[in-house]
Amino acid sequence: MTANSRYKSRAPRSDDGEEKDYVGFATLPNQVHRKSVKKGFDFTLMVAGESGLGKSTLVNSLFLTDLHKDRKLLNAEERINQTVEISKHTLDIEEKGVKLKLTIVDTPGFGDAVNNTECWTPVTNYIDQQFEQYFRDESGLNRKNIQDNRVHCCLYFIPPFGHGLRPVDIEFMKALQDKVNVVPLISKADCLTPSEIKKLKERLREEIDKYGIKIYQFPDCDSDEDEEFKQQDKELKDSTPFAVIGSNTVVEARGQRVRGRLYPWGIVEVENPTHCDFVKLRTMLIRTHMHDLKDITSDCHYENYRAQCIQAMTRCVSSQPLLSPALCVVLQLKRMHQMLQKMQQQMHEQDL
């Protein structure tokens, strides 16, 4: 037998003379499945955009829940004084025995002010804080029960009333493109005709390429995938940015009760592919690419942040050997935060 030949385990023959070639490692996927189901999954989704674009309604439609039962609606005077805040809602969802800890991060106040200079700073700071907390937990002693609060995906809502990307849209997506998976959406697609949606999508794709904005890129299909999956993946890629509609109201259409919006001229069905891209967004976000979004967050965005922290620690220890590594981490993280703020301020001054 040569060194590179494949060894095949042979068990004793059975009573009927057939060889028992089955060892048992083929059950490894089942073992991983049982362990994963028992542990559960977590996913953090951020929604960003102006007030009134249907962010909460869309999330409620995606996960069939109600995030803001006790939300207080602000009047005009309160909205003028409102600054960008971060609100977090955590839900425990179970479906067919699979548990999902879903965290929704909302950004009330974003883009609502007259002067929106650097209104994305609280959002980028929040993402960095989650990276920092995960790095601290990962560097600690108890690493078995680390809470993963890193933001895995950001749905950015673009209003349908304009003719493309606004300056605040460009700056926001550029500020977040290296920190989180950005998925742009055209909100309230029922305000536009199908031809208008097609033109707006083409315009947005051109501007995203023109300004060098890095949005979430769908991974290429493997050659051994079936044709149905390849066709579905192609449709998802061709549909970006997704034109979506959300609704918490159940209406009756064609003798069936569906989620939709009732207008004097007819009914817009949320889950009708001919009306909007809601089903495609849900398919991408939950059924086909949720794990890929988590992998890119962990293997790309977080690893870049982690590498910067380790380099900063190395410089700190070499220059100040009397300080503890933990204190060096804190000092360097503060320095990095100050440097980022200074760079953002310089970029804004250049734009002006």
Per-residue pLDDT tens for 66-117? 665 555 555 555 554 555 678 888 888 888 888 888 898 888 766 666 566 6
Domain assignment of residue 224, yes or no: yes
- Residue type (1 letter), 263: Y
- Average pLDDT on 196-202 reads 92
Kindly provide the residue ranges of all beta strands, DSSP E only, lying in the chain, ordered along the sequence.
41-48, 87-95, 98-106, 153-158, 182-186, 242-243, 250-253, 256-263, 266-269
Per-residue pLDDT of 245-265, as tens digits, reads 888 888 877 777 888 888 888
Domain assignment of residue 134, yes or no: yes
Three-state SS at 334: helix
Would strands 153-158 and 182-186 be described as parallel, antiparallel, or unpaired? Answer: parallel
The residue ranking higher by pLDDT, 336 or 223, is: 223
Q: Write down the pLDDT at residue 11.
A: 47
pLDDT for 2 beyond 50: no
Q: How many domains does the chain have?
A: 1
Residue 6 binned pLDDT confidence (cut-offs 50, 70, 90): very low
Count Cβ atoms below 10 Å from residue 134 Cβ, excluding itself. Answer: 19
Domain assignment of residue 4, yes or no: no
- Average pLDDT on 277-285 reads 90
Nearest one of 72, 69, 70, 108 to 88, comparing CA atoms: 108
Domain assignment of residue 294, yes or no: yes
Count Cβ atoms below 10 Å from residue 2 Cβ, excluding itself. Answer: 4
Per residue in 58-88, is it b (16+ CB within 10 Å) or e — as a string? Answer: bbbbbbeeebeeeeeeeeeeeeeeeebebee
- Average pLDDT on 233-254 reads 84
Structural domain that includes position 178: 37-244+276-313
Query: By mean pLDDT, which of 48-57, 126-135, 201-210, 337-346 is the weakest?
Result: 337-346
Q: Write down the pLDDT at residue 71.
A: 57
Domain assignment of residue 334, yes or no: no
Q: CATH number, domain at 72?
A: 3.40.50.300
- Rounded Cα–Cα distance for residues 262 and 268 (Å): 7
